[in-house]
Amino acid sequence: MEFKRTQEALEAFKKFVIQQARTRLSKDRKNVSKELYNSLDAIIKVTPNAIQMNFEMEDYGLFVDKGVSGTEKKYNTPYSYTTKMPPIAPLAKWAKSRNIRLRDEEGKFKKGNYQTIGYLIARSIYRKGIKPSLFFTKPFEQGFKKLPEALADKFALDVDDFLAYTLKEDRLR
């Protein structure tokens, strides 16, 4: 049995969640490299006995969404920094892409040295943590509230089609 309408409802849910999550990333200015933005996807698998849906994103997307507690500031999240600071290299790269620079004693911009900036940002994140953005959680919950009704309606139509086809096949025998 093909579940075309059910699959269409899941595709609409997938499209809504990804579009809204991308919008939230952009609005919250968490979209500098577009890496996380472009990695958002979902795979729908239909087998004879089940329909399965898995959302995917870059590994660090979970930390951006749920947040991470620091050593000094805590958030309602399962993740926390305890003994290890975040990696410096990606933060140095981020600072360079945002053109963040240090100033000398005279107030002039220092050249380069993004490693130092990366270290300073990493230390700050280690202490203060990462505030939860819920860029994915909110759209998922919003779409999921509407999904059961839409899914039930589409599944019922698929079952009707299946029964009509089955009954028609029985009459032809």
For residue 105, the model assigns a pLDDT of 86
In the chain, domain spans: 1-67+132-173, 68-130
Q: Of the candidates 111, 164, 144, which has an alpha carbon nearest to the alpha carbon of residue 10? A: 144
For residue 85, the model assigns a pLDDT of 93
Rounded CA separation 123/1 (Å):
56
Query: What pTM value is reported for the model?
Result: 0.76
Q: Of the candidates 129, 121, 66, 68, which has an alpha carbon nearest to the alpha carbon of residue 94? A: 121
Rounded CA separation 58/136 (Å):
12
Per-residue pLDDT of the chain (173 residues; tens, 9 = 90+): 566 777 888 888 899 999 999 999 999 988 878 899 999 999 988 776 677 889 999 999 999 999 999 999 999 999 999 889 999 999 998 888 888 888 888 888 887 789 999 999 999 999 999 999 999 999 999 988 887 676 666 666 565 555 555 455 555 55
